[in-house]
Amino acid sequence: MSKIPILCYHNVGQSPQDGKFKLLYTSLEKFDRQLWTMRRLGLRGVSIREGLQQLQRGSRSNLVMLSFDDGYLDTVTRALPLLCSYGFTATCFVVSDAIGTHNSWDAAYLRDEKPLMTQQQVQQWLAAGMEVGSHSCSHPRLGELTTEVAEREIAGSRAALGAALGVAIDQFCYPYGSFTSATVELVKRAGYVSAVSVVPGIAGARDDRYRLPRILVDGQSGWLKFLLQVATPYEDLRHRRRRSG
């Protein structure tokens, strides 16, 4: 069965000395080495749109889906130039009501007020061949909201981003990984093609497209852990080919 990992990034840069949850920060040097590692392994980083298309076709291409949560400024200023230099694409999940502001939902907890991309910078991301997905209107815990409020967050974000950017917004990301069966139905009803979670795992051809697992890239971990995360699915595939051959 075809499987493609979906990597989940947040910030590309150094974490503050007194910051919490430092694993959300991947240094520029480490990010560069991770992309270099994928290319050396014969892997190619792609958006979620392209990765799911290949899964649907049963493709055995050596792909890794790349995703960035929240739409931070460093996604376009630091990550984008490196992605382009390696010929990779990625999906960025944007909080529609927060474009051009900062991470109001967790700045106090993280002790780090981080700037988010402006609409012009989101357009720059798209112009480089990348994909934009929705991360809701305001980044709430959707599983804790009433149906009416959750629907506004999910459908409203898709409509707002589509109108502002002039592109179809097909992918959704559950903020904090919070969702219920009712939330999933709202995502389907809003017209999204897929939704990603924070449940750890590797996306497979038979997985529910609205509960896709991802691999959180821990910016504090070393190169070997990253190597194992991206290479394991393809090692399994090679072993199966040898047995069947």
Write out pLDDT tens, residues 12-57. 998 888 878 888 999 999 999 999 999 998 999 999 999 999 998 8
Q: What is the pLDDT of residue 234?
A: 56
Q: Please tell me the distance from the alpha carbon of residue 55 to that of residue 23, in angstroms, as a whole number.
A: 29
Q: Which ranges constitute the DSSP H helices of the chain? A: 28-40, 48-57, 73-74, 80-86, 107-110, 119-127, 147-165, 181-189, 223-244
Assign 2 a pLDDT band (cuts: 50, 70, 90): confident
Residue recorded with tokens 């480490």: 30
pTM of the model: 0.92
Q: Are 173 and 196 in contact (CB under 8 A)?
A: yes
Q: What is the pLDDT of residue 182?
A: 97
Q: What is the pLDDT of residue 20?
A: 81
Domain count, the chain: 1
Nearest residue to 64 via CA among 239, 240, 233, 235: 233
Q: What is the mean pLDDT of residues 125-141?
A: 98
List the domain range (segments joined by +) for residue 189.
3-244
Between the two ends of the chain, the Cα-to-Cα distance in Å is 16
Instruction: Kindly give, in sequence order, each residue whose CB lies less than 8 Å from that of residue 238, ignoring residues fewer than 6 positions away.
Output: none
Q: Write the pLDDT tens digit of every residue in 162-220.
A: 999 999 999 999 999 999 999 999 999 999 999 999 999 999 999 999 999 999 998 77
Q: What is the pLDDT of residue 60?
A: 61
Nearest residue to 53 via CA among 173, 205, 199: 205
Q: What is the mean pLDDT of residues 127-152?
A: 98
Q: Is the pLDDT of residue 235 over 60?
A: no
Q: What is the pLDDT of residue 241?
A: 40
Q: What is the pLDDT of residue 210?
A: 98
Q: Please tell me the distance from the alpha carbon of residue 122 to that of residue 76, in angstroms, as a whole number.
A: 8
Q: Is the pLDDT of residue 243 over 70?
A: no
CATH number for the domain that contains residue 202: 3.20.20.370
Mean pLDDT of the chain: 91
Q: What is the pLDDT of residue 17?
A: 81
Q: What is the mean pLDDT of residues 98-124?
A: 95
